[in-house]
Amino acid sequence: MRAAGLNTVETYVPWNLHEPQPGVFDFGHGGTDMHNFLHIDEFLRIAKQEDLLVLVRPGPYICAEWEFGGFPSWLLKNVTTVRSSKDKNYMSYITRWFNMLLPILALFQFQKGGSIVGFQIENEFASLSIDDPAYLNTLKKLFIDNGIVELLYTADAPEYTHGIIPGVLQTANVGSMSQIINGIKTMHSRQPNKPNMVMETYTGWFDHWGEYHHTTSAESYLPYLKAILDFPASINMYMFVGGTSFGFMNGANDDTRGMNNSGLKLDTTSYDYDSPISEYGNISNKFTLISNEIIARNPVKTKLPPLPNITAPVKYPSIIAQGQILLADIIDESNEKIISEDILSMEQLPINNNSGQSYGYIVYRQTNLDLPTNSVLKISGYVRDTVLVLLNGKLVSPAPVSAENVKGFGFWQLYNSTLNLNNTELQNATLDLVVENFGRCGYGALDQFQQYKGLTDDVFVNENKLTHWTIIPLEFKTSWNKKLNSWKAVGNTTDTPALYKFSLNIREEPKDTFVSLMTWVKGITIVNGFVLGRHFFIGPQQTLYLPAPFLRKGVNDIIVFEHYHSPGYLDFADHPIFEQVGHVQTLNRGAQLKTLISFFQNLYVMVSA
């Protein structure tokens, strides 16, 4: 960024990672799965070392296509409304969070010798079209009371006025040339004696599952950049550096602007954004052209650092699955079971210090069911967000074979979904409904933030309501993942939800790579205990970025949880693959044979060495 001529870096602070349970905080040493990402003090020190100023967007709501817009999921259990002064519990939680966060940030202010020159209050609040000055002014007071002396600002589309706070700089988020030309003028007329700042102008865009991969050419972006700089106004490019929503941190959008799930659009794990600096650190032509425009307009010529050497990702050899654990066995062997008369959502579970379950999967189990032939399961309301139905440990819900199937049973779009369970009479049967949180909505109206996950409505068999549930959380936390040890030889891999274990032996220093999931259907990948991200055959994302620091020299354990079909092998790539796919890839024997040959050739080389 410094080599491009930029002088400032802007970053969000995700509340849900820093306070995963009420009153339990992690700023890098809290031991949570994401703790290595949470050293905000280190980030700010590095920025100063690199001669970059910092703008901080601490929320409490951040959007960012991030899970629940950065809100911790336990809010759902304890508040009725977010982003509103009307909910006293919500306001008390914000106060506690900011009273913990802001004193840390205050130490790094520019006037205190640090790098922070500005703080954003909330995020695009005006888009709610709600007048709540009490909420915004309370947030402003929290900043001031916690020793913040730098510039305070808001960020909204310039045509909105609901988010304006007296005494606070208004900045603009713009997405079109007319917004730039007319919007900045409008904003300037409101605050004629203040600087003009565009807080978001979009160098690319993010992807939802099932869409084509979004790209924005440098030639189409440059007119926006030039118009803003020539106004003149300061500019923040969103995004300049692409990223990754590791683990379960991807968010979602909702086209229905309501509480049903039918319009949910789930974000991919990759947040590459077609940025000037890619998800894996690659420099694009967009980077060079933007840099030239910035440097040409800078009246004060400063010494810029040279571009760093970019280490290209590598393609590690394909590897064969060494073990399998059936999902049914995971459920049977779980030690954490909650008995409940009625359905409970993830957030309502009495776990994690009574803060509920945030991420992963949740199992709803019924035992000792007597099922006549052709019994019908009915899940009322919406599945939030996907469901696997196991009967006596066997998958009975249909595996998708095309993108069109995602509109049917097992997925979030279907209301009051039904499934024929059996074609023969069964006695004392066990029924498991395995529901995945695929990502909470991170943008929209207030009612779109009532994002409970799991099941929220009654379940019936042959129109008889099922009660007295055994509920089993499957959170896939690192500590749990590392203890998985009941691996068996790989058996059936078709219509079989299971975990597959792989060993990647690296003899040199690890390099960046991509895990290729093009021949898998749906699930998650875990590397050395850490959930890397999701795969879904419909694309566009077909690879998962695996940074070198996640790997170690020697043996690395990789686990893939697959909902439906496994090819039995795992491929790697030296570049990201974005491809929208209409049908599940055929697992042909030629590809499997090729992988086996590659595996044994690699094994021979290692043994010879």
- Helix/strand/coil for 338: strand
By the 8 A CB rule, do 359 and 247 touch?
Answer: yes
Active site (annotated) includes residue 347: no
- Cα(571)–Cα(140) distance, rounded to whole angstroms? 50
| Alpha carbon separation from 350 to 72, 357, 358 (Å, rounded) | 16, 8, 12
Q: Which amino acid is at 247?
A: G
Q: Give the total residue count for the chain.
A: 609
Active site (annotated) includes residue 124: yes
Strands 361-371 and 338-340: unpaired
> Own/partner pairs for 300-305, CB < 8 Å, 24+ apart?
304/2, 304/3, 304/5, 305/2, 305/3, 305/50
- Cα(138)–Cα(94) distance, rounded to whole angstroms? 10
Give 31's contacts (C-beta < 8 A, 6+ positions apart).
Answer: none
Choose the catalytic residue: 65, 67, 124, 347: 124
For residue 385, cis peptide bond before it (omega within 30 degrees of 0): yes
- Cα(408)–Cα(400) distance, rounded to whole angstroms? 9
Give 525's contacts (C-beta < 8 A, 6+ positions apart).
Answer: 515, 517, 531, 532, 533, 534, 535, 544, 558, 559, 560, 561
Give 600's contacts (C-beta < 8 A, 6+ positions apart).
Answer: none
- Cα(418)–Cα(461) distance, rounded to whole angstroms? 9
Q: Which helix (H) or strand (E) holds 595?
A: helix 589-608
The 10 Å CB-count burial string (b at 16+, else e) for 281-293 is: bbbbebbebbbee
Distance from the first to the final alpha carbon of the chain: 42
Q: For the residues of 350-412, what is the DSSP string, one character each?
A: S-TTTT---SSEEEEEEEEEEE-TT-EEEEEEE-BSEEEEEETTEE-SPPP-BGGGGGSTTBT
- Cα(364)–Cα(4) distance, rounded to whole angstroms? 52
Choose the catalytic residue: 19, 67, 200, 436: 200
Q: Which amino acid is at 313?
A: P
Q: Which helix (H) or strand (E) holds 43?
A: helix 40-49
Q: Which amino acid is at 288?
A: T
Residue 552, CA atoms < 13 Å, CB-side half-sphere:
9
By the 8 A CB rule, do 67 and 385 touch?
Answer: no
Torsion of CA 73, 76, 81, 83, to 10 degrees: -10
Q: Which amino acid is at 433?
A: L
Sheet of strand 338-340, all strands in order from the earlier edge strand to the far edge:
338-340, 469-474, 361-371, 426-436, 386-391, 394-395
Q: Kindly state the tokens that stand for 556.
A: 């690395």
Q: Kindly state the tokens that stand for 494.
A: 């078709």
Q: Catalytic residue numbers?
A: 124, 200
